[in-house]
Amino acid sequence: MLRKLFAALLVTFLTTQMASAGKLTIAAFGDSLTQGYGLPAGDGLVPQLQKWLRGAGEDVQVLNAGVSGDTTAGGLARIDWTLTPEVGALIVTLGGNDLLRGLNPADTKSNLDGILRAAAKRSLPVLLVGLVAPTNFGPDYKTEFDKIYATLSAKYNTLFFPSFLGPLREHGDQSEILRNYMQADAIHPNAKGVAIIVDELGPFVKKLIDLAREQNVDKS
């Protein structure tokens, strides 16, 4: 009981301190691509994005809410307890494990819809990061999957970054990208690949920050 009481008091204290400091907290909600799988602690998406934002003059906190192996169903199951009171904006990057398992795109869409609906209920601005399906499961599967993110972004009026790995395509053909910017599993970007992604993702996150601050002004 004492441990639980201490934990509750600690959470309350930290939340109060963050709120009083006025620092915006952005939850980066995703799977291993967000979590930083296979990379040293400072080289993953969240720390590199945090560094990029600080370099751009943004004093915000990016919370690593990435869980390796998570599907959109797993994300939906944990979204409510991820969106704690101090979270003021949300980045959603989920669906990669649905792709790897060949899960039904209709289920992926439904799960992502639930995640975005949870954010909308809290009036949180969202940046939705899309994924592009490979051709492994046929053209029909690819067509259905690829349209999920743009459709949901329009429905919930989110900011939209069309493809997480898209920025790497400007840096060579597939063999060059795999050799220079991906880890040995050919699924996760290496530190150099993450840096390229962050350079293009960063301005979208700045727009997300602006939206969050505008909403805070409106509420006050």
Short-list 64, 70, 27, 30, CA closest to 48: 64
Q: Classify residue 13: in a domain, yes or no.
A: no
Residue 2's pLDDT band (boundaries 50, 70, 90)? very low
Q: Classify residue 33: in a domain, yes or no.
A: yes
Q: What is the pTM of this model?
A: 0.88
- Domain containing 132 equals 24-213
Query: Strand pairing partners for 192?
Result: none
Count of domains in the chain? 1
Short-list 20, 62, 21, CA closest to 45: 62
**Starting at the edge strand that comes first in sequence, how are the strands of the sheet with 61-66 ordered?**
61-66, 25-30, 87-93, 126-129, 159-161
Short-list 113, 100, 45, CA closest to 73: 113
> Looking at the annotation, which residues are catalytic?
32, 185, 188
Residue 219, pLDDT score:
57
Residue 215's pLDDT band (boundaries 50, 70, 90)? confident
Q: Classify residue 89: in a domain, yes or no.
A: yes
Q: Classify residue 15: in a domain, yes or no.
A: no
Q: Read off the CATH number of the domain in which 139 is found.
A: 3.40.50.1110
Q: Classify residue 36: in a domain, yes or no.
A: yes
Instruction: State the average pLDDT over residues 7-23.
Output: 46
Residue 11, pLDDT score:
40
Residue 216, pLDDT score:
76
Contact 204, 52 (CB under 8 A): no
Q: How far apart are CA 94 and CA 100, in angstroms?
A: 12
Q: Classify residue 117: in a domain, yes or no.
A: yes
Q: Classify residue 1: in a domain, yes or no.
A: no
Q: Classify residue 3: in a domain, yes or no.
A: no
